[in-house]
Structure 1
Amino acid sequence: MLAVSEKDLTKLLHSLNHTKCCHLLQNLSTALAAFSAQRKTADINIHQPARTSIVSEKWSSTTLFMPVSDHASTGFKVVTVPKVSTPTNGIRGVINLLSPEGRLEGVMSAAEITAFRTALASMIPFTRFRAGGLSEGGKKKRVLIFGSGKQAEWHARLALLTVPNPTDIEGITFVNRSQQRLEESISSTLVPDLRARYPHLEINAYSREELEQQQQEQEEGGEDAYKTRLRADLASSDAIFCCTPSTEPLFIYDDLTPKRRYISLIGSYKPHMQEVDSKTLLSGNNGLIYVDSVEACMEEAGELIIAKVDEKQLIELGELDFSTAGSFEGEGNVVFKCVGMGIMDLVIARSLLGMAREQGLGTVVEGF
């Protein structure tokens, strides 16, 4: 059995290049295709029982248990989510990987993999979406990311790693509600690393809290400084990644200029959560929305529930044929909603476990 610590897992993930990321992207796409295909047949290879949870009032946390299996492995993810998350007290847990015979093959840190696999799912439409029209080669020049946690970090890293050339992306802007959280998790660590890896990249980061405080200190009236800057960034954006557990829209449709964009929504995962307004959610061709799982999104995605979206408006990524040209061509935005599935954890954890073995990372524990 190979135990891969969070430190080793981070080392492995930070060493990924374009080729390896595309390999992982293909593995995830194949798994999602298999998941969608079995919805229409009696041949069930992927089993994902409903997750269960234990709420601890004493420790102010919720522990989630998520089992999953396919033809090659069984996985069991256990994560504990604190009531109030901080940079030093966030989501923690493990993913256990077992062979079909029940032999424990690996144990891996769950928090990093969860953020990574969700961001990787967002890259499936992102890498195939053409921004700016044919005259600009479909390049996603400006990326706007809401959030300051691991999800925001991996959306930035994978956007740069999965495009044909990192210089296709000219700038990334991070927007967050809290200034302290932004400084602790993005400005002080991620931004310097991205600047070292991608010298061409223009990186900005600001918070609503910071701009509102500056405006108050300067005793300036008039237009809201935060809204003014955000509208400008929204106007220039080609892709928007929303990675927050917000309960109200981060922006509204009227803030967007008439321009085709890719909009990914992965932060809200409960019926009362909402990262965008209904008009933005339904701004795709004929109000269509791409999802990881129709069933899960209809039950858990607040945006869809609030907008009273019909199941017929949803298209699973696994149903799309990416072997043909012209994916996501047409009018309107490309909107993707993801709440996450166990099969995503299983496939990516299994792939990363193999990479860790190849690179000599992790600790081998005999007796399992």
Structure 2
Amino acid sequence: MLVLSSADVDALVAEISPDELAQLMAVVFRRVSENSGVDMPHRLSVRTKSHNTLFMPSHVDTYGTAIKIVSVPTSGGSDGLPATTLVMDETSGGVKAVVNARNLTAIRTAAGSLLATQLALGPNASPRILVVFGAGAQIAAHITLLLRYYSGSLRRCIIYNRSLNARAEKLVESLRRNFTSVTFLCRQTPENTDGVGDDANSLQSDLGSSDIICAATPSTKALFPSSFVRPRTHLNLVGSYTPQMMEVETSLIHRAGLLMVDSRSACMLEAGELVAAGVRPEDVREVGELVGTDSEMPPRDSSGDRITIFKSVGLGVQDVVIAKLVVDLAKTKGVGYNLNSYDDRNPTVVQS
């Protein structure tokens, strides 16, 4: 059994191009939309003292079977999302790899957002300004993949967080080291954006000049007014995963000329923004339906107020394909720890 630590995973993922990750998501999203070769039971949730622990089993033909276990902090829980993916051996039925998925979860989610951004902006896009909400692993992965893919144009990244804490400062320091040609700013998300004030004015100015907006927060109220977002902006919303959570106003959802989702059925149940906006299944397009069909994309400037939105609640099949990619790469490069005696078929009998 192969065991991959967080450091192992980070080193392996760094060698995979953003476009390869996005195209991997294209394959799995298309299979989901076509209901071809995938088995994705709804995730189970178990409440512990300080977390909601989610169990997400999935199977994808030719990629295999895996189950991800991720703990989402509740009151008293620690920051971050501890996660592990168990990759199954299709022949023996045993576990062939244990993969630390704390950051891998963020990377597969960001890869899906990158794919949606590519579809929304088109192949010749040159976005200049990225605005994000949150400072955790999800946002770090989104920023990293978007900056790597749009390295020729993105030159400014503004990070909004509910507090200017050590985690936010550490994120900015790391990004500045890795992307020296990009200007990074970190601001506190205003509590009240309805009134007049420097914080609200800065937020309005930043959003009004942005090309891409990403949000990955557990917010239960909109992070900013819809009016702050200029036409033709693309948004990736990956934070909310229950009907009670929402990151944007209903009016912003209604402005979408193209409203993309990872899964129509999952988002109709779990995406708080869409539930609150009364979005119907026929109002959204699954990303898997749009892959390779640029001619069916609605014009981004079909209305003067239109924007594009991608809403993701996360799918277990994403974990299957990215875990396989990482495990295969680890075996090729000899990375990780092999536990050869984990499932000994000929155990030694211990005499009493």
Q: Same fold (TM over 0.5)?
A: yes
**1:175-210 CA-partner distances (Å, limit 9, x unpaired):** 011222xxx22322x32332233221111011137x
The CA deviation at 1:21 is 2.4
Taking the aligned partners of 1:208 and 1:284, their CA distance within structure 2 comes to: 24
SS at match of 2:38: coil
Aligned to 1:223: 196
Aligned to 2:253: 281
Aligned to 1:41: none
The CA deviation at 1:361 is 1.8
Write the mapping of 1:107-146 to structure 2, written as runs, cut at 5 A: 107-130=98-121, 138-146=125-133
Taking the aligned partners of 1:250 and 1:144, their CA distance within structure 2 comes to: 12
Taking the aligned partners of 1:104 and 1:253, their CA distance within structure 2 comes to: 47
The CA deviation at 1:54 is 1.6
Runs of at least 5 residues in structure 1 that lack an aligned partner in the other structure: 39-43, 213-221
CA 1:347–1:230 in structure 2 vs 1: closer, same or farther (change >3 Å)? same
Aligned to 1:167: 152
Write the mapping of 1:1-368 to structure 2, written as runs, cut at 5 A: 1-13=1-13, 15-16=14-15, 20-38=17-35, 44-56=36-48, 59-72=49-62, 73-84=64-75, 89-101=79-91, 102-130=93-121, 138-163=125-150, 166-180=151-165, 184-188=166-170, 190-208=171-189, 223-257=196-230, 259-285=231-257, 288-322=258-292, 324=294, 329-331=299-301, 332-367=306-341, 368=343
CA RMSD of superposed structures (Å): 2.2
The answer to whether the Cα contact below 8 Å between 2:133 and 2:216 also exists between their aligned partners in 1 is yes
**1:56-87 CA-partner distances (Å, limit 9, x unpaired):** 2xx2222211111122311111122221377x
CA 1:325–1:355 in structure 2 vs 1: closer, same or farther (change >3 Å)? farther
The CA deviation at 1:168 is 0.9
Taking the aligned partners of 2:119 and 2:52, their CA distance within structure 1 comes to: 37
Q: TM-score, normalised by structure 1?
A: 0.85
CA 1:159–1:326 in structure 2 vs 1: closer, same or farther (change >3 Å)? farther
Q: Determine what percentage of the aligned residue pairs are the same residue.
A: 30
The answer to whether the Cα contact below 8 Å between 2:60 and 2:321 also exists between their aligned partners in 1 is no
* Paired letter, 2:205: A
**1:8-37 CA-partner distances (Å, limit 9, x unpaired):** 112223x235xx322222111111101111
The CA deviation at 1:254 is 1.5
Q: TM-score, normalised by structure 2?
A: 0.88
CA 1:174–1:2 in structure 2 vs 1: closer, same or farther (change >3 Å)? same
**1:247-302 CA-partner distances (Å, limit 9, x unpaired):** 01011112223x311111100111011100111112122xx410000000000000
**1:310-357 CA-partner distances (Å, limit 9, x unpaired):** 110010000114264685643221111000010011111111111222
Q: Is the helix fraction higher in 1 or 2?
A: 1
The CA deviation at 1:223 is 2.8
* Paired letter, 1:253: S
Taking the aligned partners of 1:46 and 1:85, their CA distance within structure 2 comes to: 36
SS at match of 1:63: strand
CA 1:49–1:191 in structure 2 vs 1: closer, same or farther (change >3 Å)? same
* Paired letter, 1:53: S
Taking the aligned partners of 1:348 and 1:76, their CA distance within structure 2 comes to: 12
The answer to whether the Cα contact below 8 Å between 1:173 and 1:203 also exists between their aligned partners in 2 is yes
CA 1:85–1:138 in structure 2 vs 1: closer, same or farther (change >3 Å)? farther
The answer to whether the Cα contact below 8 Å between 2:6 and 2:100 also exists between their aligned partners in 1 is yes
Taking the aligned partners of 2:148 and 2:6, their CA distance within structure 1 comes to: 21
The CA deviation at 1:113 is 1.3
CA 1:51–1:157 in structure 2 vs 1: closer, same or farther (change >3 Å)? same
Query: Relative to structure 2, which stretch is displaced further, 118-127 or 337-346?
Result: 118-127
* Paired letter, 1:172: C
The answer to whether the Cα contact below 8 Å between 1:28 and 1:344 also exists between their aligned partners in 2 is yes
SS at match of 2:220: coil
The answer to whether the Cα contact below 8 Å between 2:161 and 2:168 also exists between their aligned partners in 1 is no
SS at match of 1:268: coil
The answer to whether the Cα contact below 8 Å between 1:63 and 1:81 also exists between their aligned partners in 2 is yes
The CA deviation at 1:309 is 0.7
Taking the aligned partners of 2:335 and 2:206, their CA distance within structure 1 comes to: 40
The answer to whether the Cα contact below 8 Å between 1:148 and 1:185 also exists between their aligned partners in 2 is yes
CA 1:325–1:171 in structure 2 vs 1: closer, same or farther (change >3 Å)? farther
Runs of at least 5 residues in structure 2 that lack an aligned partner in the other structure: 344-352
